[in-house]
């Protein structure tokens, strides 16, 4: 067994991965994978809490995993799996639902917001955070890297675990949310004051990791900038140029200052062409790896291994919870 601390995170397969996800959150997980025993899964059961097209969902699950690996999530350093392939997880979720108050679940901000958006919301939307608690607790994860919107759910998982331990005896490790503050936020190319989001309607401002490299170049050449023609980092007064500097810096590993220096005395045209070339080249390499993986035996083996390993772990916890709760023969 590894004596490293365990981190775990889930990705809900909705929308399409963007350059913003890659630079903002994925790169953080890629850094953490060396230091921690990392678990990464596709939360497909969570996707079902809002309406989905089954065929599209099915395809997206696989695409997500292949793209994450193509981006640099190393299957040797991560346990990678599909949530729904582990039948102990929803089974445990029912048991923990019986240790969670209706009041707690219905107070979750995400539940309150999403249940307002659609009058026919499902019970799954309410029990969403309990399923998420199981995702975290079944494998004794120590740390859970999440976006700020998911922090409350991790805190609920901790509350459920603490209460269960008190009531039934030590069963779970108490997990901690890790919300990264310093991660670079990539902005929309057309409106550099808001974040690059996969749900944005205007695709001109958003680079998808699946975009054709030529289209990527075009989008960057057409990015909104200012008119003083000086390549200088100033997020407040020059959000467009600053965003492009952040992109170039993240993808080349050069500092923003280094790149600024290279463009002293040159105009925005040269600078944009540079960012466009760097980005298109970087993403096209990732796409090459993605194309190798998507229908490969290698991907099947990674998923089989992740499924088998986590089912074994989950089975042990499932039986322990049942025993603690008294539901055994």
DSSP 91-143: HHHHHHHTTS-HHHHHT-HHHHHHHHH-TT--HHHHHHHHHHHHHHHTTT-SE
Catalytic residue among 77, 198, 254, 309: 198
For 241, the token pair is 């140029």
Establish if 46 lies at the interface with ligand LTN (CB under 6 A).
yes
Q: Is 219 in the site for ligand LTN (CB under 6 A)?
A: no
- Tell me which H or E stretch contains 9: strand 6-11
105 binds ligand LTN (CB under 6 A): no
108 phi-psi bin (left φ>0, alpha ψ -120 to 50, beta other)? beta
Residue holding tokens 């230091």?
35
Measured N-to-C along each axis, helices 268-294 and 213-221 cross at an angle, to the nearest 10 degrees, of 150
Query: Binding to ligand LTN by residue 307, rule CB under 6 A?
Result: no
Interaction of residue 43 with ligand LTN, rule CB under 6 A: yes
Q: Specify whether 261 is catalytic.
A: no
Nearer to ligand LTN, 8 or 156 (CB): 8
How many residues bind to ligand LTN according to rule CB under 6 A?
12
Name the minimum Å distance from CB 247 to ligand LTN. Answer: 23
Q: Is residue 63 near ligand LTN by the rule CB under 6 A?
A: no
Q: Which residue is nearest to ligand LTN (CB)?
A: 10
Angle at 35 between CA 30 and CA 41, to 5 degrees: 50
Q: Does 9 bind ligand LTN (CB under 6 A)?
A: yes
The reply to whether 285 belongs to the active site is no
Question: Which of the following is catalytic: 77, 151, 195, 322?
Answer: 195
Decide if 195 is catalytic: yes
Cα–Cα distance, 42 to 82 (Å, whole number): 5
Choices 63-71, 128-136, 192-200, 207-215; region in contact with ligand LTN by CB under 6 A: 128-136
CA angle, corner 317, sides to 312 and 320, nearest 5?
130
Which residues does the annotation mark as catalytic?
114, 195, 198
- The binding site for ligand LTN (CB under 6 A) comprises 8-10, 12, 43, 46, 132, 135-136, 144, 146, 150
């Amino acid at each position: 067994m590894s004596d490293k601390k365990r981190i775990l995170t889930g990705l809900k397969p909705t929308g399409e991965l963007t350059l913003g996800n890659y630079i903002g959150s994925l790169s953080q997980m890629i850094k953490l994978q060396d230091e921690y025993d990392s678990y990464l899964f596709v939360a497909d059961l969570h996707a079902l809490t809002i309406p989905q097209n089954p065929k599209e969902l099915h395809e997206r699950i696989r695409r997500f995993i292949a793209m994450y690996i193509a981006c640099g999530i190393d299957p040797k350093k991560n346990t990678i799996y599909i949530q729904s392939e582990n039948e102990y997880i929803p089974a445990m979720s029912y048991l923990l639902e019986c240790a969670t108050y209706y009041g707690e679940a219905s107070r979750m901000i995400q539940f309150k917001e999403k249940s307002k958006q659609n009058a026919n919301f499902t019970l799954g939307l309410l029990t969403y955070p309990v399923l998420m608690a199981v995702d975290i607790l079944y494998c004794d994860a120590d740390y859970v890297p999440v976006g700020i919107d998911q922090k409350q759910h991790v805190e609920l998982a901790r509350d459920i675990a603490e209460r269960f331990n008190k009531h039934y005896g030590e069963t779970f490790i108490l997990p901690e949310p890790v919300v990264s503050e310093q991660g670079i936020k990539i902005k929309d190319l057309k409106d550099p004051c808001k974040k690059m989001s996969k749900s944005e309607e205007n695709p001109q401002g958003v680079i998808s990791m699946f975009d054709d490299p030529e289209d990527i170049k075009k989008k960057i050449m057409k990015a909104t900038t200012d008119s003083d023609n000086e390549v200088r980092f100033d997020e407040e007064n020059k959000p467009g140029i600053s965003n492009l500097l952040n992109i170039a810096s993240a993808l080349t590993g050069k500092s923003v200052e280094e790149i600024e220096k290279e463009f002293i005395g040159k105009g925005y045209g040269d600078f944009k062409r540079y960012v466009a070339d760097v980005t298109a080249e970087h993403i096209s390499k990732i796409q090459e790896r993605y194309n190798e993986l998507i229908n490969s035996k290698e991907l099947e083996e990674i998923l089989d291994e992740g499924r088998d390993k986590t089912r074994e772990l989950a089975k042990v916890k499932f039986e322990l919870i049942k025993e603690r709760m008294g539901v055994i023969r």
